[in-house]
């Protein structure tokens, strides 16, 4: 399979994701539209209407209902996917926690977008971070091809016997959802074979093995049940690695939990999530060409967070800038806090930057600025890349 | 890398044009990227779309700030938005207009190559009301790429859901634009 040359099509991340869903052929997709996720479900709805998949598409009246229907469907014994963004995910979050707690392996495509207010339709990671502690596995695509690949991989992670958790596949709103680029789709039957049949223990509609779901848990059992869920999230790191390895072996595309770019002998590095990785890689190449020892780590698997892998890839690096596309007002932003946990006890110095809120562009010169500022010792202040008044250092 | 910025009004097909150009260049073996810039989406409001073309995989996801080529689908935009903003001085400015000098100070002040193509008229004569396909053809004819054949195939693919008559009119309009673009290229030499 890896030797077959696949034709490239010009697709947006949203369209590529819809194709992955068509090829996975989920049994049930309950969904409510919201920008910038809408083209995912719009394209997928057309596939359903055209008979390209026999999925039952359930048009519900809100994202809360979408996720509620998804939990019921997944636990009943049906492979279930949905899609959302921003306020939609915010409304969904209550039930995402429940999905994780009830161990419902729903795959959620997310077109990551800012949260209101003020209202804004453009990209950042605030929505994903709102669901950060829900127990859902979170994976972030760097481009449209990865949005496709990760969507194909996601059911295998979600439904694995050691995981059984919702999996969110994030792609940056507009930067990926609405950006068209060459994408290679796998043959339909290869995707079908890769995801395999939907099999979960204790399916609600399995009349031969009656089971209860959504039970009440008193203080004598809640902690243990939550601990089982926490352990399952931790187990998902290894399972993700196995699924990614299978994907590489079968199809020749390798999407490890961390995308380490030119990190060999790097003295300074950036860490970030999502589509800004492409822009940062160009800057890394420029600086490397000028003899500077710099590198980049893009975090694909955000929950569970690959602490040990990050610690290993940062061994020998002196200073690191962590670029968050979300804030945690009053303290350090999420990715920075995770990275700090990973390097504790080492000599690596971390600096925190927030960038790109509400679709603010991250130009090449802003990435240059982050690398340049790493020449000086790190300090505790949070930097804001691209904020008016902060970037005006006259250099580019 | 070639970066093209498309200025249009919502509903005129700037986004579609940016996409068709990317598909045509992919057929020439190039790496491509096409994306719109959305404000609050309204029919008739000024909007932007971009096409990037390169010899190798395009990784950057940042905005296009210094385009090599600007295409203006609606001549009235030249009085409303900074159409030459960031446009490289050795770049190309393609306008939907009978005469470039009709389109205002920004165009007159631009030092690079300027070509006016009466895209509305050529579209109408071809049986369509969309100037985007005329300007697509004109761009290819003027720049010398992508080829007329690849552009035609790309247009057919992107418009595959439309009735045959609409597709044929679009092809004819695109070819009329291509001829006008070629004349512009030879004029400039």
pLDDT in the model for residue B187: 62
Instruction: Note whether A396 and A368 are within 8 A (CB).
Output: yes
| Closest in A122, A179, A276 to B33, CB measured | A179
Q: How confident is the prediction for chain A on average, in pLDDT?
A: 96
> Could you tell me where the beta strands, DSSP code E, fall in A113-177?
137-140, 167-172
Pairwise CB contact (< 8 Å): A182 & B23 = no
Nearest CA among B86, B78, B80, B87 for reference residue B106: B78
Check CB contact of A278 with chain B, cutoff 8 Å. yes
DSSP letter assigned to residue A90: H
Mean per-residue pLDDT, A159-169: 98
Query: Whole-angstrom Cα distance, residue A128 to residue B182?
Result: 50
Task: Evaluate if residue A1 carries a pLDDT over 70.
Answer: no
A18-32, B50-64, B93-107, range with the lowest pLDDT: B93-107
Question: Do A173 and A35 share a domain, yes or no?
Answer: yes
Cβ-Cβ contacts under 8 Å, B61 against chain A: 143, 172, 175-176, 179, 275-276, 278-279, 362
Domain boundaries, chain B: 2-188
The pLDDT confidence band at residue B185, using thresholds 50, 70 and 90, is confident
- The SS3 call for residue A258 is strand
Query: Whole-angstrom Cα distance, residue A14 to residue A332?
Result: 31
Nearest-CA distance A177 → chain B (Å)? 10
3-class DSSP string for A21-80: HHHHCCCEEEECCCCCCHHHHHHHHHHHHCCCCCCEEEECCCHHHHHHHHHHHHHHCCCE
pLDDT in the model for residue B79: 87
Query: Whole-angstrom Cα distance, residue A201 to residue A209?
Result: 10
Looking from the CA of B161 toward its CB, the CA atoms found within 13 Å total: 3
- Please state the length of chain B: 189
Considering its fold, how many domains does chain A have in total?
2
The pLDDT confidence band at residue B31, using thresholds 50, 70 and 90, is very high
SS3 content of chain B, % helix, strand, coil (to 5): 45, 20, 35
Chain B, nearest residue to A144 by Cα: B33
Nearest CA among B67, B107, B109 for reference residue B90: B67
Rounded to two decimals, the pTM is 0.96
Q: Which residues of B touch A (CB under 8 A)?
A: 19, 22-23, 26, 31-36, 38, 58-63, 65
Q: Which CATH architecture has domain B2-188?
A: 3-Layer(aba) Sandwich (3.40)
Query: Whole-angstrom Cα distance, residue A47 to residue A54?
Result: 9
Give the Cβ contact number of residue A13 at 10 Å: 33
Q: Would you call B157 exposed, middle or buried from its count of C-beta atoms within 10 A (0-12, 13-18, 19+)?
A: middle
Mean per-residue pLDDT, A116-127: 97
pLDDT in the model for residue B28: 97
Check CB contact of A281 with chain B, cutoff 8 Å. yes
pLDDT in the model for residue A376: 93
Task: Evaluate if residue A396 carries a pLDDT over 50.
Answer: no
In this structure, what CATH number is given to the domain that contains residue A144? Answer: 3.40.50.970
Looking from the CA of A275 toward its CB, the CA atoms found within 13 Å total: 33
Nearest-CA distance A196 → chain B (Å)? 32
Beta-carbon contacts of residue B86 (< 8 Å; ≥ 6 apart) = B65, B66, B67
Nearest CA among A265, A340, A330 for reference residue A295: A265
Residue A3 lies in a domain: no
pLDDT in the model for residue B189: 42
Cβ-Cβ contacts under 8 Å, B60 against chain A: 278-279, 282, 364
- The sign of the torsion formed by the CA atoms of A321, A330, A384, A108 equals positive
Question: Do A127 and A154 share a domain, yes or no?
Answer: yes
The pLDDT confidence band at residue A394, using thresholds 50, 70 and 90, is very low
Chain B, nearest residue to A9 by Cα: B23
Task: Evaluate if residue A107 carries a pLDDT over 80.
Answer: yes
**Any idea which residue has 């394209």 for tokens?**
A43
Check CB contact of A119 with chain B, cutoff 8 Å. no
| Closest in A10, A180, A279 to B61, CB measured | A279
Nearest-CA distance A363 → chain B (Å)? 5
Question: Do A243 and A289 share a domain, yes or no?
Answer: no
Beta-carbon contacts of residue A142 (< 8 Å; ≥ 6 apart) = A259, A274, A275, A277, A278, A298, A300
Question: Do A229 and A281 share a domain, yes or no?
Answer: no
| Closest in B36, B58, B60 to A178, CB measured | B36
Question: Do A35 and A167 share a domain, yes or no?
Answer: yes
Among candidate residues A220, A251, A282, the one where a domain is terminated: A251
Among candidate residues A251, A273, A303, the one where a domain is terminated: A251
Question: Do A91 and A151 share a domain, yes or no?
Answer: yes
Chain A, nearest residue to B65 by Cα: A363
Query: Whole-angstrom Cα distance, residue B145 to residue B80?
Result: 30
**Any idea which residue has 């068709």 for tokens?**
B20
Question: Do A150 and A282 share a domain, yes or no?
Answer: no
Question: Do A30 and A159 share a domain, yes or no?
Answer: yes
Question: Do A174 and A285 share a domain, yes or no?
Answer: no
pLDDT in the model for residue A395: 42
Q: Would you call A395 exposed, middle or buried from its count of C-beta atoms within 10 A (0-12, 13-18, 19+)?
A: exposed
Residue A391 lies in a domain: no
Task: Evaluate if residue B39 carries a pLDDT over 90.
Answer: no
Residue A395 lies in a domain: no
A277-286, B5-14, B168-177, range with the lowest pLDDT: B5-14
Query: Whole-angstrom Cα distance, residue B29 to residue B36?
Result: 23
Question: Do A319 and A211 share a domain, yes or no?
Answer: no
pLDDT in the model for residue B41: 62
Give the pair of three-digit tokens for residue A258: 């961390």
Question: Do A314 and A243 share a domain, yes or no?
Answer: no
Cβ-Cβ contacts under 8 Å, A172 against chain B: 61
Could you list the residue range(s) of the whole structural domain that residue A288 is in?
258-385
Instruction: Note whether A37 and A172 are within 8 A (CB).
Output: no
Nearest CA among A76, A42, A370 for reference residue A198: A76
The pLDDT confidence band at residue A39, using thresholds 50, 70 and 90, is very high
pLDDT in the model for residue A114: 98
Q: A167 vs A226, A365, B129, CA distance in Å?
A: 17, 34, 46
Nearest CA among A62, A112, A58 for reference residue A85: A112
Query: Whole-angstrom Cα distance, residue B122 to residue B129?
Result: 9
Beta-bridge partners for A140: A170
Give the Cβ contact number of residue B65 at 10 Å: 13
Task: Evaluate if residue A30 carries a pLDDT over 50.
Answer: yes
Residue A336 lies in a domain: yes
- Please state the length of chain A: 396
Question: Do A240 and A296 share a domain, yes or no?
Answer: no
- The model's pLDDT over B69-91, given as tens digits with 9 standing for 90+, comes to 999 999 899 888 999 999 999 99
Provide the percentage of residues in chain A whose pLDDT is more than 70.
97
Residue A1 lies in a domain: no
Task: Evaluate if residue A393 carries a pLDDT over 70.
Answer: no
Residue A114 lies in a domain: yes
Query: Whole-angstrom Cα distance, residue A229 to residue B134?
Result: 59
Task: Evaluate if residue A96 carries a pLDDT over 80.
Answer: yes
| Closest in B34, B60, B65 to A282, CB measured | B60
Instruction: Note whether A229 and A101 are within 8 A (CB).
Output: yes
Q: How confident is the prediction for chain B on average, in pLDDT?
A: 93
| Closest in A121, A180, A276 to B61, CB measured | A276
Q: Which of residues 140-179 of A touch B (CB under 8 A)?
A: 143, 172, 174-176, 178-179
Task: Evaluate if residue A212 carries a pLDDT over 50.
Answer: yes
Task: Evaluate if residue B34 carries a pLDDT over 60.
Answer: yes
Among candidate residues A212, A233, A251, the one where a domain is terminated: A251
In this structure, what CATH number is given to the domain that contains residue A264? Answer: 3.40.50.920
Give the pair of three-digit tokens for residue A76: 């009943």
């Amino acid at each position: 399979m890896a030797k077959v040359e696949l034709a490239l099509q010009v697709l947006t991340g949203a369209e590529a994701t819809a194709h992955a869903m068509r090829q996975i052929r989920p049994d049930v997709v309950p969904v409510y539209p919201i920008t910038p996720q809408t083209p995912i479900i719009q394209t997928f709805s057309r596939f359903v209407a055209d008979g390209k998949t026999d999925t039952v598409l359930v048009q519900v009246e809100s994202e809360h209902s979408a996720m509620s229907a998804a939990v019921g469907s997944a636990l009943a014994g049906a492979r279930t996917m949905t899609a959302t963004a921003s306020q939609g995910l915010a409304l969904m979050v209550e039930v995402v926690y429940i999905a994780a707690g009830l161990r419902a392996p729903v795959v959620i495509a997310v077109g990551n977008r800012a949260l209101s207010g003020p209202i804004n339709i453009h990209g950042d990671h605030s929505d994903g971070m709102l669901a950060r502690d829900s127990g859902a596995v979170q994976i972030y695509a760097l481009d449209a091809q990865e949005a496709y690949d990760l969507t194909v991989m996601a059911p295998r992670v979600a439904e694995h016997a050691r995981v059984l958790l919702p999996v969110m596949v994030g792609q940056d709103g507009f930067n990926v959802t609405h950006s068209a680029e060459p994408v290679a789709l796998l043959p339909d039957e290869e995707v079908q074979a890769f995801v395999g049949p939907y099999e979960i223990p204790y399916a609600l509609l399995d009349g031969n093995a009656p089971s209860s779901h959504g039970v009440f848990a008193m203080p004598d059992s809640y902690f243990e049940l939550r601990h089982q869920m926490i352990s399952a999230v931790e187990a998902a790191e290894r399972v993700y690695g196995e699924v990614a390895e299978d994907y590489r072996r079968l199809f020749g595309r390798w999407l490890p939990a961390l995308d380490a770019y030119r990190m060999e002998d790097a003295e300074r590095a950036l860490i970030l999530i999502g589509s800004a990785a492409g822009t940062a890689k160009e800057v890394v190449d420029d600086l490397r060409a000028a003899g500077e020892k710099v590198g980049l780590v893009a975090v694909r698997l955000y929950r569970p967070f690959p602490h040990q892998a990050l610690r290993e890839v940062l061994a020998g690096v002196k200073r690191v800038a962590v670029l968050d596309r979300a804030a945690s007002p009053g303290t350090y932003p999420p990715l920075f806090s995770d990275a700090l946990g990973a390097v504790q006890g080492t000599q690596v110095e971390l600096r925190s930057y927030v960038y790109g809120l509400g679709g603010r562009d991250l130009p090449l010169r802003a990435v240059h600025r982050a690398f340049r500022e790493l020449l000086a010792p790190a300090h505790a202040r949070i930097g804001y890349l691209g904020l008016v008044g902060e970037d005006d250092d006259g250099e580019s | 890398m070639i970066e093209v910025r498309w200025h249009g009004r919502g509903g005129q097909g700037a986004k579609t044009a940016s996409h068709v150009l990317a598909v045509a260049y992919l057929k020439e073996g190039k790496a491509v990227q096409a994306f719109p810039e959305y404000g609050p989406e309204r029919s008739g409001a000024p909007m932007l779309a971009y096409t990037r073309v390169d010899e190798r995989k395009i990784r950057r996801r940042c905005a296009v700030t210094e385009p090599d080529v600007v295409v203006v689908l609606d001549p009235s935009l030249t009085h409303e938005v900074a159409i030459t903003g960031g446009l490289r001085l050795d770049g190309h400015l393609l306008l939907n207009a009978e005469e470039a000098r009709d389109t205002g100070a920004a165009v007159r002040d631009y030092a690079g190559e300027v070509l006016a193509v009466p895209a509305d008229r050529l579209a109408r004569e071809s049986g369509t009301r969309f100037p985007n396909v005329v300007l697509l053809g004109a761009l290819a004819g003027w720049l010398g790429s992508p080829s007329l054949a690849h552009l035609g195939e790309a247009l057919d693919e992107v418009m595959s859901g439309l009735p045959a008559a609409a597709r044929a009119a679009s092809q004819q309009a695109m070819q009329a634009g291509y001829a006008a673009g070629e004349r512009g290229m030879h004029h400039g030499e």
